[in-house]
Amino acid sequence: MSLKEKKFFKISLFIFIIIISIVQILLVYKVINLYIGIYYPSFLPPAIGVNIYSWYRILFKGHLMSKFRLRASIVLIITILIPVFLFTSAPAYTYDDGKALIEEKVSIDDNINYDFVMISGENNILSGKRSWKFYVNKGLYYYRLDIEGEDIRYFTVSPFNGTVVEQEVDFFLAYR
């Protein structure tokens, strides 16, 4: 392979890696918004950034070429593992699925007006213990349901098994 072909190969591969990384970032954004509060967003974007930087170092730093295949294989595995971690750790229920579970449990008549009030972003989940998957919060989704503007009820839903529990009082009452 000539020097010009090697350079073209490296640049093409790096552009491909950038495209894959952009797709990963979009997936992370989508997953974080679907599973509100379940994923710690401080982990995944830096992992993708380190991944891009690793590819850059492997492709464009000459002193690393001695073990190119080994290093490229390791970084390729990391590139593949990021989306695999996301999808294997995803809970069974999204935040919107939790609303549907509450609607089933409460069985509100069609004539009655009700609305799920979005509490501030940080208060839509009750944090739980961290799992062995250090980027996943084992917490509960938290909902405020306003029925006819008069009756206010609070619920938690487990995103992992779908258990719905009605709370007697607002969990965050002391913080408001």
Give the 3-state secondary structure of 30-78: HHHHHCCCCECCCCHHHHHHHHHHHHHHHHHCHHHHHHHHHHHHHHHHH
Nearest by Cα to 143 from 113, 101, 176: 101
Residues 149, 90: Cα–Cα separation, whole Å: 34
Model pLDDT for residues 53-62, shown as the tens digit of each residue: 888 787 777 5
0.85 exceeded by pTM:
no
Q: Which two tokens stand for residue 146?
A: 């306003």
pLDDT of residue 164: 92
pLDDT of residue 22: 86
pLDDT of residue 63: 57
Helix 44-60 and helix 3-34, axial crossing angle in degrees, nearest 10:
180
Residues of the chain short of pLDDT 70, as ranges, are: 1, 41, 62-66, 108-110, 118-135, 149, 172-176
First to last CA, the chain: 67
Nearest by Cα to 18 from 43, 54, 44: 54
pLDDT of residue 44: 74
